[in-house]
Amino acid sequence: MKKLILPMSLLAILAIVITGAVFFIPKEKKVNLSLLVVEQDITSLTRDSVAIAIGTIKDIIPGHLGMDNSGNKIVFTDYVLLVKNAIKGNVDEEVKIRIIGGSVGEGKNKFSVFAEDEPDFVKGEEVLVFLSKNSGGFFDLPVDYYAVEGRFQGKYQIVNNEARNPKGIFKLDKVMDEINLTLQSQK
């Protein structure tokens, strides 16, 4: 009988550990999205966007759950842009931008979506953004919301008269000249 005490104890400990793992470890589910996109420069971003604006990210509305057009769960994060300079299109003083990605729920009910190519916005940052009414086939964009044209390609952070995005750092004046030239050629 004494010989069984040790193995039985080990089995009991193992059972407790497994039970703990099953019930108490957060069972977060995740979705990752990655896109293949058309390469876009300032000219094509200007041509294909419905609006272009410079402004400051005033507010971030954290992740909220939705469904994509295929009936799959998806998470969106919304940003409010306080427009300082509307370069193209009729945009309101405040513009709502919807981006795929974010988290909802807590613990075992947590659900996170990461979209590799979507731009990141930070509250208070000044941006030049090319706006779109297309959601990339994922969801129906509400009437008063915009997406970003060309995903990360269509968002530039403005710092010290420079326009910065993952493709490089550019003089803001040069970028604006290119935008204006494209807009004039479209008239």
Report d(CA 148, CA 52) in Å as an integer. 10
Residue 85 vs 109, nearer CB to another protein: 109
Residue 48 vs 162, nearer CB to another protein: 48
Smallest separation, CB 27 to another protein (Å): 4
CB 53 within 8 A of CB 129: yes
Smallest separation, CB 25 to another protein (Å): 7
Residue 79 vs 152, nearer CB to another protein: 152
Smallest separation, CB 129 to another protein (Å): 15
Q: How far is CA 141 from CA 7, 9, 11, 80, 104, in A?
A: 60, 58, 54, 15, 20
- Contact residues toward another protein (CB under 8 A) are 25-40, 44, 48, 69-70, 72, 108, 114, 116-117, 132, 134-138, 149-151
* 179-186-168 Cα angle (round to 5): 25
Residue 1 vs 39, nearer CB to another protein: 39
Smallest separation, CB 61 to another protein (Å): 23
Tell me, what DSSP letter sits at residue 118? S
User: What is the sign, positive or negative, of the torsion defined by CA atoms of 98, 157, 36, 40?
Assistant: positive
Residue 66 vs 126, nearer CB to another protein: 66
Tell me, what DSSP letter sits at residue 152? G
Q: Which residue has the tokens 């005490």?
A: 5
Smallest separation, CB 40 to another protein (Å): 6
Provide the greatest CA pair distance for the chain. Answer: 94
